[in-house]
Structure 1
Amino acid sequence: MVKCIIFDCDGVLVDTEKIGNGILLAMAQEHGFEMELEDAYRHFNGRNLKDCFRHIEEAINQKLPETFEAEYRTKSFKAFKTQVKPMEGVVDFIEKLKIPFCVASSGPEEKIRLNLEVAGLLDKFENKIFSSYQIGSWKPEPGIFLHAAQEMGFDVKDCIVLEDSKAGVKAGVSGGFKVFGFANGFNNEDLEEEGAELFSSYEELRKKLDLY
C-alpha cells in the first residue's frame, strides 16, 4: 500500500525539459558543441547542472566561460516565467490524492518554486519542497529521495518515486524505492533499464496504483 508519493519536478510535475535543454544546447552550440535534443533528454535530464557543463566541456575539449552558468540561469528563468505548464493530467491527479505527497528535485529551491508557481502548483507543495542543494547530494545519488521520505515521516518501503530521467530512476532504485518512470518517448528504454515501471499518463498511473 502506497502511503506517500515523491514527485520529481521537471518533466513529472512541470513541462520544462524542452525549454531548459533547448536553451542549454543553443548556448553550447556557440562553443562548438553539437547534440540532438533527443540525446540531451537522455544525457542531461535529472542531472546536476555542473555535470551537464562537464559533459559539454569534455566534448569540446575546453572550459566554458565563467559566465556560462549565470547566463544559462538568467535565460532559462526568463523562459520558465512565461512558458512553463503543468504536465497533462497532473493537477487532477494531485487534487484527488488522499495520501501525502511532496517534490524532490536536483534543482535549486528557487527554481523549483518558480516552476511550480508558473504552473499553478505551488500552493499544493508548500512546506513539501526538497532540493538537492539543501543537503548537498544530487541524483543519481539517492540522498534527496531518502531525505524527502524522512522529512515526510515515512519509511522507504511506504513511498513511491515518480521520475522521468535515468539519473532520477537510478537514485530512487538505489535508495530502495519503488520507482515509476514517466515515459515520454525519448526515455522509455533508459528508465526500464534502470528498474522503473513505466507509465505514460497520470490516468494510467492512477489505475496502476488504484489510489482513488
Structure 2
Amino acid sequence: MSVDLVIFDCDGVLIDSESLAARVHAEALGALGYPTSAAELIRRFTGVPDREMYAVIESEWGRSLPADYDERARAALSALYARDLRPIPGVGAALDGIRHPVCVASSSAPDKLRTVLRLTGLHDRFAPNIFSASQVSRGKPAPDLFLFAAERMGVAPARCLVIEDSVAGVAAAVAAGMPVLGFTGASHCGPGHGERLTQAGAGAVFDDMRRLAPLVAERGAS
C-alpha cells in the first residue's frame, strides 16, 4: 500500500536535542540526590514524554520530585537550546525531496515544540500540523499520538510512514499499524541502536538524512 503522509518525530529526528536534554536532567536529578547519568536517561527514556519519565523516577526513588522541577529543568534546557541546538544535518534537503504531506508527532510539550522548531528554522515547514503527546492520554510507546496525528491529517494509519529515532517511538508506530523507518544519525545514537530499532519493528534503518527521500520514494510517498 502506498504512503500518503510522512509523520516525523522531532527530538533526534528533526533536531539533535536528546543529548542536551539528557544532560540537563542528569545534572538536575543528581543535584537532588537521584543517581543517574545522561547515558542512562537516553537509554531508558528517549522518546518517552517527560511526565511519564517523572512518574517512573518518582516510583523508583520513593519520593516526589519538587513541584517546580519541570519548570526549572525547562528553563535550563531553553538556555542550552538557545546556545547549542542544531537541526539534524540534511533535514531541510530531505524535506524538500518529499512531495507528500508531512507532520510532526512528538512526545514534547507544545511550547517546547514551538521553541525548538523555530530555533532551528523548521517550524514553518510543518505548522500547523505539529502534534504533541499532551493532546492524547498515553504517550509513546502507546499508539495514541500517531493515531491522533493520522486522524487530524485525514489519512488512514496504514497509509502513514513514521520516521523515528527511539525504540518507544518505533513501538508506537508498529502498534498504530504504521510502517516506520528508524533514524540513527543523531548524537545520542550509539553502537547497536539501529539493531534495537530493527528489533522493535523498523522496516529499515538509516543514519544520513540524504537517504530519507529515496527511502520514502521506495514506499510510494513521493
> Do both share a fold (TM > 0.5)?
yes
Q: 1:191 and 2:193 equivalent?
A: no
Q: 1:69 and 2:70 equivalent?
A: yes
- Which region of structure 1 is more displaced relative to structure 2, 121-130 or 134-143? 134-143
- Whether the 8 Å CA contact 2:98–2:216 is kept in 1: the answer is no
Tell me which amino acid in the other structure corresponds to 2:5: C
- Whether the 8 Å CA contact 1:107–1:131 is kept in 2: the answer is yes
Distance change in 2, residues 1:189/1:34 (3 Å): farther
Q: Deviations over 1:129-182 (max 9, x none)?
A: 111112333111111111111111211121111111111111110000101111
Aligned equivalents of 1:182 and 1:136: distance in 2?
26
- Which region of structure 1 is more displaced relative to structure 2, 186-195 or 99-108? 186-195
The match for 2:211 is 204
The match for 2:27 is 26
The match for 1:141 is 142
Structure 1 residue 59: deviation in Å? 4.1
Distance change in 2, residues 1:188/1:35 (3 Å): farther
Can you give the 5+ residue segments of structure 1 that lack an aligned partner in the other structure? none
- Whether the 8 Å CA contact 1:48–1:139 is kept in 2: the answer is yes
- Which region of structure 1 is more displaced relative to structure 2, 100-109 or 64-73? 64-73
The match for 2:36 is 35
DSSP 3-state at the match of 1:188: helix
Q: Deviations over 1:63-90 (max 9, x none)?
A: 2222211111111122223322111110
Aligned equivalents of 1:115 and 1:192: distance in 2?
28
DSSP 3-state at the match of 2:32: coil
DSSP 3-state at the match of 1:104: strand
DSSP 3-state at the match of 1:79: helix
The match for 1:105 is 106
Normalising by structure 2, we get a TM-score of 0.88
The match for 2:162 is 161
Distance change in 2, residues 1:97/1:170 (3 Å): same
Aligned equivalents of 1:203 and 1:124: distance in 2?
17
Tell me which amino acid in the other structure corresponds to 1:194: A
Structure 1 residue 39: deviation in Å? 2.5
Can you give the 5+ residue segments of structure 2 that lack an aligned partner in the other structure? none
Structure 1 residue 58: deviation in Å? 3.8
Distance change in 2, residues 1:192/1:86 (3 Å): same
Aligned equivalents of 2:107 and 2:197: distance in 1?
17
Aligned equivalents of 2:212 and 2:99: distance in 1?
15
Normalising by structure 1, we get a TM-score of 0.92
Paired residues, number: 212
